[in-house]
Amino acid sequence: MKRTVNKWLFRLCCLLTAAVASTSCSMMHDDLDDCPIGLYLAFEYDYNLQRADMFGDHVGSVTVYVYDEQGRYVTKQEESNTGSYSPLSSPLYRMHMNLQPGRYKFIVLAGQKSYGEQLSGPGANFVRTEPQPGESMEQFAVTLDHEGTGTADSPAPVLHEGQPLDTLWHGIETKAIAVYDTKPTYHTISLTRDTKKINVSLREIADPTQMDVDDYAMTITDRNARILWDNAVDETETLVYTPHATWETTDRTPATDLNGHPLGGYGKTAHADFMTSRILYHEDAADDGVLSIVHTPSGREVVRVNLPDMLSRLCNAEDYYRYSPQEFLDRGYDYSLDFYLLNGELQYVDISISVLSWSVRVQFEDL
């Protein structure tokens, strides 16, 4: 009997302690160190071809724009890795937001460094339309720096100043999430990477010793200057991207012609690195972005291909993942296109994506 009474008293004490703790936490709005209340947001970046959460490895800064249940702007909060302090790298990282009780929606933008650092650095930036109190979610947008107003006949150059674009991730939560004053709320928002890296290589197989990267003008033309609140793309303006880096590589062994005869020199391959905003695959191929390579001494266009079509040729490279072209383009972010010319005429292109061993060769007659 004594043991039963003691056990009952112990359970009663536990219940009273929990009740007191709950009451005290509900009264604390300024100092939350001892009571886990408010909103704890986690982020994941597993919408990629690796199908793994790479948030902690790739993302260095995250900004959360908070809207009320009706989609009106309330506040924002940013957290970034700085020097040796890298909270986002922790697999346990959550952003704590001390919001008043209510229901909230969110837009999330992330990068490799803080937004302030991005704006203060060289090159083209994704400039945000910072919302005003009470402003609708639908008014939020991000615009890539460019010169003038781009049209189909006169695309606007992206002013990268020889620098790659800052990586941009986007996330959104349109289902209102409840926040309480007596208990914590935990929620996770998924991110999609919008910036794409594209490496282009060019080689002449008849006489590779004659390749000179300075003889070629490489451009990507697309209509992706402005990303809207829901990660849709406003296609009003047309942009033209130029490489932020070009270079040549030289073979280690002497070059030969197609019959194996020495050419008296070493073969060369021209390379160019691009970074672009989000790439869309349209129902009408005429609306897709275009990669063009012009041989400037002759003025002849040696390569002109539909960019999203070329990149998405890899979408079914592995039978166990069957992606739609657009899902593949959104999951992928680091592509390589190797073009091979024969006496200045395009013969075939090898398409691959880094990290994974996915590749495909497309003959010229298939383009």
Count of residues for the chain?
A: 367
**Arch. (CATH architecture) of 32-193:** Sandwich (2.60)
Of 73-87, 239-253, 352-366, the range with the lowest mean pLDDT is 352-366
Mean pLDDT (whole number) for 266-283:
98
146-161 pLDDT, tens per residue? 999 999 999 999 999 9
Distance, CA of 61 to CA of 284 (rounded, Å): 37
**Can you tell me the mean pLDDT for 24-35?**
43
Question: What pLDDT, on a 0 to 100 scale, did the predictor assign at position 363?
Answer: 83
> 210-215 contacts: CB < 8 A, separation 24 or more?
211/248, 211/267, 211/268, 211/269, 211/270, 212/248, 212/268, 212/270, 213/246, 213/247, 213/248, 213/270, 213/271, 213/272, 214/246, 215/295, 215/296, 215/297
Confidence check: pLDDT of 21 > 70: no
Task: Please state the pTM of the whole predicted model.
Answer: 0.87
Least confident of 49-53, 105-109, 191-195: 49-53
- What DSSP state is assigned to residue 85? B
CATH of domain 196-222+237-366: 2.60.40.2090
Nearest partner of 228 among 314, 159, 160, 137, judged by Cα: 137
Q: Look up residue 1 and give its two tokens.
A: 């009997």
Task: Compute the distance between CA of residue 18 and CA of residue 27 in angstroms, rounded to an integer.
Answer: 14
- If you average pLDDT over residues 166-176, what whole number do you get? 98
pLDDT band per the 50, 70, 90 thresholds, residue 28: very low
Exposed / middle / buried, residue 309 (Cβ in 10 Å: 0-12, 13-18, 19+): middle
Asked whether 248 and 170 are in contact (CB, 8 A), the reply is no
- CA–CA separation, 136 vs 71, rounded Å? 6
- Distance, C-alpha 80 to centroid of its chain: 17
pLDDT of residue 317: 65
pLDDT in tens, 66-111: 999 999 999 999 999 999 999 999 999 999 999 999 999 999 999 9
pLDDT in tens, 278-308: 999 999 999 999 999 999 999 999 999 999 9
Residue 138: count of CB within 10 angstroms of its CB? 10
Q: Is the pLDDT of residue 206 over 60?
A: yes
Is pLDDT above 70 for 26?
no
Amino acid at 26: S
Residues of the chain with CATH 2.60.40.2100: 32-193
pLDDT at 190 over 50: yes
Percent of the chain with pLDDT over 90: 81
Residue 127 predicted with pLDDT over 50: yes
Give residue 359's pLDDT. Answer: 76
**Please, which pLDDT band fits residue 30 given cuts at 50, 70 and 90?**
very low
Residue 5, pLDDT above cutoff 60: no
Per the model's pLDDT, the better-predicted residue between 311 and 11 turns out to be: 311
What is the sign, positive or negative, of the torsion defined by CA atoms of 312, 353, 296, 235?
positive
pLDDT band at 322 (very low <50, low <70, confident <90, very high): confident
* Residue spans in the chain of domains classed CATH 2.60.40.2090: 196-222+237-366
Q: For residue 305, how many C-alpha atoms fall within 13 Å in the half-sphere facing its CB?
A: 27
